[in-house]
Structure 1
Amino acid sequence: MKILLLVVLFSCSTAMCRRVNGFDAESANCTSDEEFKYLEPCPGEVNCGSLNAAVACPAVVQHAVPQCVCKEGLHRGYDNRCYTKERCDELLCPGGNQFFECGDVCDNVCTMLDKQNRTNCPESVYTYLCLPQCYCNDGYARDYKQNCIPIENCDSLGDRVMSELLDNITR
């Protein structure tokens, strides 16, 4: 009896148990960056857009679904491929000199640097909720074209004109 149980356990850990709940894991067409897993619908697979987001799942019991998921350390991109966190950030913020984060509402913007920025965000503007978006790297600010440029370049003609326009509108 002990030998039979051992044979069944050994067999189940090899070819016999590749077929679970009618789904053949061997026939799943996972890429080299993916692995086959049973995953609950919520929170589901972490993707590039949800890396820093909190997910609220319903209290109802959910059944795991067989699927190809990105291997550990990789995240699903909008094109359905798997990427590292760093590459996800580049894809989400393609303008350069940016990073994706869940932060407050104040980013470095050339026309607003004297009023607010990432290190000086007035309480009236500050949000206590996470705001996932692209932020300029340290030492950079958004110009009037929404590109992150070195802060010392913020005195360019376009930003001076835009700043003057904004000042005239707010008066």
Structure 2
Amino acid sequence: MTSGSGDAWVYGPDGGKFWGRFGAAGLLVHDPQRGVLLQHRALWSHFGDTWGLPGGARHEDETAVEAALREAKEEAGVPADLLHVRFTSVLDLGFWSYTTVVAQAVNSFDPVISDSESIALRWVMPEAVAHFPLHPAFAASWPALQLRIMNPTPASRRNADAG
């Protein structure tokens, strides 16, 4: 399926480290009745014991959307066929990028811890997300993502596959 795993650290010019040789992607699932799906990250993971999104390193030959859907299936049992991708949000540092893929659940589902990267999975109402100890990068991006989730624009609906 993939010609090159992205599972490796990338080091930035300032010495910061980022997971994913080809960048990384995460899936933010919104269910209007249940909230957004958060993952309590394993203690051993980068920024462990924080809450964030299922996601991880992109493989060499996959898009950010493909990577986010694959990682969410691997880590949380998220069924891609029950999602509608709405938009993407990209943090591009030049040498590395992270894409948040935002999808709406078209049918409710129960996430399942399916590997060792999760301590817990939980649906959280958007107004409560900021009260959790969040992964620092997710904490920084959450206010803008929350606005877009709660107030979709025609442009964000049209550009669901951008990024």
Q: Give the shorter-chain TM-score range.
A: under 0.3
Q: Which has the higher strand share?
A: 2
TM-score normalised by the chain length of structure 2: 0.23
Bigger relative contact order (CA 8 A; separation at least 6): 2
Q: In terms of Rg, which structure is larger?
A: 1
TM-score normalised by the chain length of structure 1: 0.22
